Structure 1
Amino acid sequence: MSGNGFHVHGPHDHELEHAAQHEPKGMAGQLAVITAVLATVGAMFSYMGGATQANAALYKNDAAIKKTEASNQWNYYQAKSSKQSLAELALDLSSSEEQRAKYRDKIARYDKEKNEIKEKAEALENDSTEFNHRSDEQMHQHHRWAQATTALQISIALAAIALLTKRRWMKGATLGVGAIGVLLGALAWFHV
């Protein structure tokens, strides 16, 4: 390059411009396209893996909340049982029929309240179990996405090795491992 904005291209510059303007050919061009496709698919798989992991954590959190609510209901149930037991003791110790009738009513009321509380506690425990099941399903799916992403990353690394060594069998290995990654991604997609 000279001073007054005049620029002279060398033969190497011309070749680089020519290569950049035309479609890449040969194994290097094919590996570049394969790598780009694998990286794109891998990015999508990675996103899905992160999303399923986040969903699993949310479901696990919901399960813990429902379990705590169920525990609170069981504590309430125990309190009602204690009151019922005290009313039964008072019934046994009462001498007047008026007092005995009052304690019989309390016992019946506590028994009814306990049954309602028990149903609510059991429903909350069922909800907790369902959220845990959903969390487990999401974690299984997350592991599939992670396996698929890992296979695609290995495939990209094999593509780089194939490019450096110019070994055709490495290109085949790149495609094979990439196909395994896509298969694992399909299994994740279909929840297998």
Structure 2
Amino acid sequence: MSEEYEVHGPHDHAVEHAASGHGAHGETDSFAGRMAVMTAILASIGAIFAYQSGTSENLALYYKNEAAIRKTEAANQWAYYQAKGEKENLAALGAALSANASEAQRRFAADVDRYRQQKEPIRAKAEAIEREVALDDARSETLMHGHHRWAQATTAIQISIALTAITLLTRRRWLLYTSMGMAAGGVVLGALAFFSA
């Protein structure tokens, strides 16, 4: 069995050293501790946003798939409706071509009535399925829009985490404020995604 060795680059050592909270002479560095806490909080928020993004996308795809299945069902119902209509037309033609008051004409006329009555429930069912298709398509679009918002929020949080790491290395306050601004933007996008769902 082989052992795996992890190779750290200079950047990894610098981040670990800075995150340990100890300065050059062993004193505790509260700035590094605050950055570590901020990173942990941002990572947690980012994980929640990423989960919500994935869930929204999966549900959007589910409803889009349901709409596709129902479109096929509606098309089948309309084909069935059309077949009944063609039978009705053939029966009407048979009645028209039959001798007046003959048994054949009465039979064809009865068939015309029967096919006409059978068509109505088929048409109603096809229209009901089409309404379900429209509803599923609308749900899918709403969820996909939410997925994009969650993904934008996740990206903003990830950028904020990266800026926090750079802040820890460079000790530049303006980077800290930029990181906090990106985090705030990510939280706002997450809130928009949450309330638009």
- 1:5 maps to which residue? none
Instruction: Report whether the alignment pairs 1:156 with 2:153.
Output: no
CA distance in 2, matches of 1:17, 1:51: 37
Q: In the TM superposition, what are the counterparts of 1:24-63 in structure 2 within 5 Å?
A: 25-63=29-67
Give unpaired runs (5+ residues) of structure 2: 1-19
User: Which of the numbers 173, 183, 188 marks the counterpart of 2:188?
Assistant: 183
Q: Deviation digits for residues 18-51 of structure 1, max 9, x if unmatched?
A: 89xxxx6432221111111000000011001101
Q: One-letter code of the match for 2:107?
A: K
Q: Deviation digits for residues 76-105 of structure 1, max 9, x if unmatched?
A: 011101101110110111015222111111
Cα displacement (A) at 1:17: 10
Q: What count of residue pairs does the alignment treat as equivalent?
A: 174
Instruction: Report whether the alignment pairs 1:166 with 2:171.
Output: yes
CA distance in 2, matches of 1:110, 1:147: 56
Cα distance change of structure 1 residues 128 and 75 upon mapping to structure 2, 3 Å threshold: same
CA distance in 2, matches of 1:17, 1:29: 6
Cα distance change of structure 1 residues 159 and 18 upon mapping to structure 2, 3 Å threshold: closer
- 2:138 maps to which residue? 133
CA distance in 1, matches of 2:22, 2:177: 29
Q: In the TM superposition, what are the counterparts of 1:86-165 in structure 2 within 5 Å?
A: 86-97=90-101, 98-165=103-170
CA distance in 2, matches of 1:45, 1:58: 20
Larger Rg: 1
CA distance in 1, matches of 2:22, 2:149: 43
CA distance in 2, matches of 1:18, 1:25: 5
CA distance in 2, matches of 1:17, 1:57: 46
- 1:81 maps to which residue? 85
CA-based RMSD of the aligned residues comes to 1.9
SS in 2 for 1:190: helix
CA distance in 2, matches of 1:159, 1:18: 17
Question: TM-score by structure 1 length?
Answer: 0.86
CA distance in 1, matches of 2:22, 2:69: 64
Cα displacement (A) at 1:190: 0.7
**Percentage of identical aligned residues:** 50
Cα distance change of structure 1 residues 83 and 50 upon mapping to structure 2, 3 Å threshold: same
Cα distance change of structure 1 residues 160 and 17 upon mapping to structure 2, 3 Å threshold: closer
Cα displacement (A) at 1:129: 0.8
Cα distance change of structure 1 residues 17 and 56 upon mapping to structure 2, 3 Å threshold: closer
CA distance in 2, matches of 1:174, 1:49: 22
- 1:6 maps to which residue? none
